[in-house]
Chain A
Amino acid sequence: MIWSVSFGLLALLALSLPVGVVLFLLGIGIDTFYSPFPLIRGLGQIVYSSSDSFLLIAIPFFVLLGEILVRAGIAERTYKSLDAWFSWLPGGLVHANIGTATLFSATSGSSVATAATVATVAMPQADRLGYDPRLFAGAVAAGGTLGILIPPSINLIVYGFLTETSVPRLFLAGLVPGLLMAVGFMAVTALICAKRPHLGGPSRSFTWRERMSGLRHLIPIGLLFGVVVGSIYRGWATPTEAAAIGVAMALVIAAFYQSVSFSMITEALLGTVKSTAMIMFVIVGAYFLNYTLAAAGLGRQLTDLLENLGLGAYGTLIVIIFLYIVLGFFIETLSLMIATIPIVVPIISGLGFDKVWFGILMIVLIEMALITPPVGLNLYVVQGARTKGSLTDVMVGVIPYVVVMLLMVVALVLVPDLALFLTNGL
């Protein structure tokens, strides 16, 4: 079953059918060929339930927040001021991509929204300054994935919801690994560009005066982070509600910069509805595919596989990590989490691993899934912000960052305290 699904997926995608349609078609195919039961009769119910979701409304909120920041010029000012700090490094502006993505991750709970925001500001710079388009786009796509590791995070909310784990604790646990990974992204960029200087753009230097004066442009982002995450920790808002607070705060900041106008709001709303529809079409299709896979026995196959291997705790953990890497190529991330968490987390917890720690480990693997082809939403989003060049550029460009993610997985397994030491005091 897995093989025919993978082959069908690749073939239909190659026909350049919309990804959401492909997922629906595969689900219908599984129903027809692998299930003795008329799963299609549940289609309507699944599609409705997957879109009527209080958790998912955080996606348009975070996209709207990003749209407002872009249209109020805040994203661009943030980008420029980080450029002043990082462009002396080998790789120049690529570091600003990663830095900006890291900062926006602290205000956005969605990796796709983060990547979309940064891509809008950053991608036009690549050609102008003569950067290698692959590395440049790859840094935006990979940097954007930090959106779900650095709090707030929709995916951690979903994990907490499904595993009955405290969301504020998960958020705290994601912070250090998220920052470490940002540093890792920059390190690998510097390493590559030191070896192959032509991949990076021109080396530019800024005076300390320019750097210091640019710092004030980081205030809005700091303020947003404080309000969004602060409202959760102060007990004013639930993590989902905090996304709405973020939108309101972004509007206040935009008003402060005198960039709120009727047309600005209209354009921001249009952009939000467009991106939301694009993301949700994939997610709804993925839910239906997931439902048919589960009904056709994927869950049982997974459970049998994991339970019958007879490996020890770490052996099982390694198999699970490997599974997520492979499934992550093909399955959309939210539905991947929903399909596997009920199977995997009880096993992990039974082996004596910490649920909060595993949540963070899983998010790193999910981040990887966001940038591995053929189904990788962040790849699509970054490609969508480009004016020329093919999707292949982005796919090649993310490879070094995937390596950093793999290293992060190893680090988390070897040193669980990377995730846990902040939460232990709680």
Chain B
Amino acid sequence: MTDIKMANRSGPARLAARLGRINRIIAILAGIALLATVALILLEIVLRQTAIGSIGGSDEISGYVMAGVATWGFAYALTERAHVRIDILQSRLPLPGKGLFDLLALASVFAIALTVSIHAWDVLGKTLARDSHANTPLATPLWIPQSIWFGGWVWLAIVAVLLLACITVLIAEREWESVRAIAGGGTETGEL
């Protein structure tokens, strides 16, 4: 984020930086959920070894946590520019060309996030309509994990479209460095 500060303090850059900070907080919460799952699994293992007996369901809950952590992490990976992109062609272009590729990439993330969100709503909607529960001893109401998962995809779509707006403005202003700082590939590979 430091390069954004140096390059530009305009509105779009500030918005991008703020989205980055929000996603950082979300990612920490997701990480804490992971640690809690580690603790739950350890508890399950210990109880199974002792006479107390197992609590059960740690495998089921782990699955829900996995879906939540991964999905809410997508937007964090986006603001951290960590999603895998192959820049063999892009790295040979001049700065404006790179910027347009970044715009295209971000637009494609938004399109997919929106598409998945719409279909994710179908899944959650069916679960709500049928009041579906997992066929396990916990009988978890499935709307709980599926809402968290659905929310993650919607959040990705929101973050992607806001970033898209940011870099569209920056491109119009010919602020190519800032475009790269917000939406470029994670590693600057330079010219070969």
Contact = CB atoms under 8 A, between A and B. Distances in A.
The reply, when asked whether chain A contacts chain B directly with Cβ atoms under 8 A, is: yes
Interface in A214-260: 231, 236-237, 240-241, 244-245, 247-248
B interface residue count range (under 10 / 10 to 19 / 20 to 34 / 35 or more): 35 or more
Contact of A52 (B27, B63, B80): B63
Given A21-B109, A54-B60, A270 B86 contact: no
Contacts of B69: 60, 273, 276
A176 interface: no
A189 B115 CA distance: 47
A278 B66 CA distance: 13
Contacts of B65: 57
Nearest to A275: B82
Nearest to A268: B31
A25 B38 contact: no
Contacts of B112: 20-21, 24-25
A277 B73 contact: yes
B116 A47 contact: yes
B76 interface: yes
Nearest to B80: A274
Contacts of B67: 48, 51-53
Interface in B44-98: 44-45, 49, 58-60, 62-67, 69-71, 73-74, 76-77, 80, 82-91
B66 to A, nearest CB: 4
A236 B76 CA distance: 36
A345 B83 CA distance: 33
A19 B119 contact: no
Contact of A15 (B37, B59, B82, B104): B104
B161 interface: no
A237 B45 CA distance: 6
Interface in A36-71: 40-41, 43-45, 47-48, 51-54, 56-57, 60-61, 64
A40 B37 CA distance: 33
A14 interface: yes
B143 interface: no
Contact of A44 (B30, B87, B109, B120): B120
Contact of B84 (A14, A19, A236, A273): A19
A374 B45 contact: no
Interface stretch (A88-96, A179-187, A279-287): A279-287
Chain A interface bracket (under 10, 10 to 19, 20 to 34, 35 or more): 35 or more
A389 B89 contact: no
A266 interface: yes
A85 interface: no
B88 A14 contact: yes
A391 interface: yes
B151 interface: no
A383 B91 CA distance: 14
B178 interface: no
Contacts of B137: none
A18 interface: yes
A236 B50 CA distance: 11
Contacts of A276: 69-70, 73
A272 B31 contact: yes
Where chain B touches its partner, the secondary structure class is helix
Interface string B174-192: 0000000000011111101
B31 A19 contact: no
A213 interface: no
B84 A278 contact: yes
B63 A281 contact: no
Nearest to B74: A277
A387 interface: yes
Contacts of A25: 108, 112
A424 interface: no
A17 interface: yes
B120 A278 contact: no
A48 B123 contact: yes
A54 B115 contact: no
A376 B123 CA distance: 31
B60 A269 contact: no
A313 B68 CA distance: 45
Contact of B45 (A16, A45, A236, A278): A236
Contact of B116 (A18, A44, A53): A44
B186 A384 contact: yes
A275 B186 CA distance: 12
Interface string A6-34: 00000001111111110011001000000
A386 interface: yes
A390 interface: yes
A328 B145 CA distance: 33
Nearest to A246: B38
B183 to A, nearest CB: 11
Contacts of A358: none
Given A273-B76, A390-B88, A241 B187 contact: no
29 contacts: A16-B101, A16-B185, A18-B108, A28-B115, A44-B120, A47-B153, A48-B123, A51-B149, A52-B67, A53-B63, A60-B34, A236-B45, A241-B45, A244-B37, A244-B42, A245-B45, A270-B27, A273-B28, A273-B34, A274-B73, A276-B70, A280-B73, A280-B74, A284-B70, A384-B186, A388-B187, A388-B190, A389-B190, A390-B192
Interface of B: 24, 27-28, 30-32, 34-35, 37-38, 41-42, 44-45, 49, 58-60, 62-67, 69-71, 73-74, 76-77, 80, 82-91, 101, 104-105, 108-109, 112, 115-116, 119-123, 145-146, 149, 153, 185-190, 192
Given A17-B104, A241-B45, 5 more contacts: A236-B45, A241-B58, A269-B27, A388-B188, A392-B88
